[in-house]
Copies of this chain bind each other. A is one copy, B any other.
Amino acid sequence: MTRLRGYLYPKSATGASSVVPAPPWHYSGDLLTVEYRTDPARVRELLPRPLELAEEDPGAVAVIWADWQSCAASGEELLDPVRSQYKEVLVVVRCTYRGRPYSRCVYIWVDKDFAVARGLHQGYPKKLGSIHQTRPHPHGPAPRIEAGARFGATLAAADRRIAQAVVTLREPSGSGGFVNAHPMAHHRWLPSIEKGKGLALDELVETAAASVDAGTPWRGDADLELFEAPTEELARLEVREPIAAYYRQVGTVWDGGLLLESHTSGAE
């Protein structure tokens, strides 16, 4: 009898074809975070019940650029870096579930298929984008991580620029921001293959890092611009008031989450 192997698709006799191996997934990366306040009504409209708006600072948004290298347990992807390196922009808000605070990724873009696939599993709504962020470097014109250093960051999708930021570092900080600081409350949704039959998968899951090994964050200021596009709504989370920006180098591990709710026959 055939026993198909592979953590995700495509499954095969050996499992070698899977778009991503089984967790734990290990990451090294640089995070450039821009926090600001938007109209809380624009956050609320992205929160399906039973999620509720955060009580304190409900309009806070974080737009986070990340430049990653990632691998599964064997680490072999690091030596074939087209399989480990990817870039990401994620847009995070806060919410509450049964009175507890959560972060929630409402939009996200990446530039590799293995990152899309991990997002399906974790409930990140990943599209493809073209993503760039200035890298710190010890020599030449690129910035060091130090006071006054400036980092640029851009996002495009479907051949349109969606967001861009310039961040100026000011000083070391005790935190890397507060918006993306809680466990994530994400949905995993898939419509029924049959029209009009609602959702075949409708789960609310909690996901967070299994461990984090991070450097000292730097805090600074950001100039953030969001642009309209026919199939993107990031600009709807308009910038009302800047909060702060952060630069942080991190190592992290992801190794599974927690099912909060499952509704197998919910109306779509």
Q: Mark A216-238, 1 if CB is under 8 A from B, else 0.
A: 00000000000000111100100
Determine the distance from Cα of A122 to Cα of B194 in the docked complex, in whole angstroms: 10
A23 CB contact (under 8 Å) in B2, B123, B195, B207? B195
Cross-chain contact B142 with A28 (CB below 8 angstroms): yes
A10 CB contact (under 8 Å) in B76, B125, B164, B190? B125
Is A46 located at the chain interface by the 8 A CB criterion?
A: yes
Determine the distance from Cα of A75 to Cα of B142 in the docked complex, in whole angstroms: 9
Determine the distance from Cα of A262 to Cα of B17 in the docked complex, in whole angstroms: 24
Contacts of A46 on B, CB cut-off 8 Å? 2, 4, 11-13
Is A205 located at the chain interface by the 8 A CB criterion?
A: yes
Contacts of A151 on B, CB cut-off 8 Å? 79
- Output the least CB separation between A8 and chain B (Å): 7
Cross-chain contact B27 with A141 (CB below 8 angstroms): yes
Q: Mark A105-149, 1 if CB is under 8 A from B, else 0.
A: 011100011001000111101111010111101111111000000
- The verdict on A159 contacting B158 (CB below 8 Å), with A69-B135, A233-B16 known, is no
Contacts of A134 on B, CB cut-off 8 Å? 69, 78-79, 81, 84
A233 CB contact (under 8 Å) in B14, B125, B164? B14
Is A203 located at the chain interface by the 8 A CB criterion?
A: yes
Number of residues on chain A facing chain B (CB within 8 A): 111
**B-binding segment of A56-64, A173-181, A245-253:** A245-253
Contacts of A49 on B, CB cut-off 8 Å? 1-2
Determine the distance from Cα of A166 to Cα of B80 in the docked complex, in whole angstroms: 9
Cross-chain contact B80 with A154 (CB below 8 angstroms): yes
Contacts of A19 on B, CB cut-off 8 Å? 125, 127
Give 26 CB contacts A-B under 8 Å: A2-B44, A8-B190, A8-B191, A9-B126, A10-B127, A12-B233, A16-B233, A17-B233, A28-B137, A29-B140, A76-B230, A78-B142, A81-B153, A83-B158, A84-B134, A85-B132, A137-B249, A139-B213, A139-B214, A156-B159, A160-B160, A161-B161, A188-B190, A188-B200, A193-B257, A194-B256
Point out residues on A near B: beta carbons under 8 Å. Answer: 1-2, 4, 7-14, 16-17, 19, 23, 26-30, 44-49, 69-71, 75-76, 78-85, 106-108, 112-113, 116, 120-123, 125-128, 130, 132-135, 137-143, 150-154, 156, 158-161, 164, 166, 187-195, 197, 200-201, 203, 205, 207, 213-215, 230-233, 236, 249-252, 255-259, 262, 264
